[in-house]
Amino acid sequence: MFAKKEKAAQQEFWVAAQPLQKSAKSTFYANLDETLESFGFGAKVREICAPAYKQSGVGRPGIDPVVYLKMMMVGFFEDLPSERAIASRCADSMSIRRFLNYELDENTPEHSSFTVIRQRLGLEIYQQIFTLTLQALQEHGLLRGKNLGIDSSVIEANASLRALVNRNTQEAYWDYVKRLAAEDGIDPQDAAALRKFDRNRPGKGSNQQWENPHDPDAKISRTKHGATDMIYKPEAVVDLRYWSGGSGGSASRRSRRSSRNGHAHP
């Protein structure tokens, strides 16, 4: 006979941090962090974002907005397809943890927190942060602005098409379709007839008519694989003076390749 080995319960134990394995220093992220600190990015961003956070001192402290913005940079430079992928990559990489100032025993922000932060900050604060970044580039002589390239990315949102509501009536999608079908003399309980009615209905996938109430920033559009889903479509502007040939998209791809090779570019 033999005894079945059961999974042991995890016991607490203390280990000094000094002998733990350290990650190889990432030249790119180290240079990026140094560049950000050279124009006081962290302090200025926190000052800009402070009005969006309650100062009551009650409840759990919010995630540092600088950490959030750095994670968005990681997503851009490493060409990550979704917020879930960004959160996973940041949690998994020791060099990125160092860039974010997170220790090994700390949990990095989850992807679900990105939506909360994005809604909290709002368009005006984002505009101030973008202006801050452009001013820093201008001061360092890295911005000319005569020839610009625009790189538009597609990021899958953590939002469901099933949760769509009509902007005017706040009806759920199929409740709205059933009402229209009934008004048109179609039995709303006939699933086949209902889908046929909905197939070519005007405004079916219009962002002017529909929104996800849990994530109003997500839009109905095509993913990279051609399917219809909820996505974000951020755009980045590249000064083409620093890139030979190609468009903004090719410039961004070169930038992402450079990041993986350990070289920092503006």
Annotated domain spans of the chain: 27-53+61-143+245-260, 165-211
The reported pLDDT for the residue numbered 15 is 61
Distance CA 194, CA 189 (A): 8
* pLDDT band, residue 41 (cuts 50/70/90): very high
The share of the chain scoring above pLDDT 90, in percent, equals 25
Q: Please, are residues 235 and 152 in contact by the beta-carbon 8 Å criterion?
A: yes
The reported pLDDT for the residue numbered 239 is 67
Regarding beta strands 148-152 and 235-239, do their DSSP bridges make them parallel or antiparallel, or are they unpaired? antiparallel
Q: Please, are residues 187 and 197 in contact by the beta-carbon 8 Å criterion?
A: no
Q: What 3-state DSSP class applies to 50? A: helix
What lies within 8 Å, CB to CB, of 218 at 6+ separation is: 157, 159, 212, 230, 231, 232
* pLDDT band, residue 91 (cuts 50/70/90): very high
For residues 19 and 133, the model is more confident at: 133
What lies within 8 Å, CB to CB, of 158 at 6+ separation is: 82, 83, 84, 111, 112, 115, 215
The reported pLDDT for the residue numbered 153 is 78
* pLDDT band, residue 13 (cuts 50/70/90): low
Expressed in percent and rounded to 5, the helix, strand and coil fractions of the chain are 45, 10, 45
Half-sphere exposure (CA, 13 Å, Cβ side) for 209?
11
> Considering the entire predicted model, what is its pTM?
0.54
Residue 86 pLDDT > 90: yes
Return the structure tokens found at 29.
């992220």
The reported pLDDT for the residue numbered 87 is 95
Note the pLDDT tens digit of each residue in 185-227: 999 899 999 988 988 787 777 888 889 888 888 888 888 888 8
DSSP letter, residue 162:
G
Listed residue (165, 254, 169) closest to 213, CA to CA: 165
The reported pLDDT for the residue numbered 243 is 57
Note the pLDDT tens digit of each residue in 222-252: 888 888 888 888 777 776 765 544 434 444 4
What is the average per-residue pLDDT within 13-29? 65
Rg (CA), the chain: 24
| Per-chain mean pLDDT for the chain | 79
Listed residue (215, 232, 213, 235) closest to 223, CA to CA: 232
Residue 161 pLDDT > 70: yes
Listed residue (199, 158, 194, 159) closest to 175, CA to CA: 194
What is the average per-residue pLDDT within 151-168? 85
Listed residue (14, 21, 19) closest to 97, CA to CA: 21
Q: Please, are residues 144 and 138 in contact by the beta-carbon 8 Å criterion?
A: no
- On the 0-12 / 13-18 / 19+ scale of CB atoms within 10 A, 80 is buried
For residues 253 and 175, the model is more confident at: 175
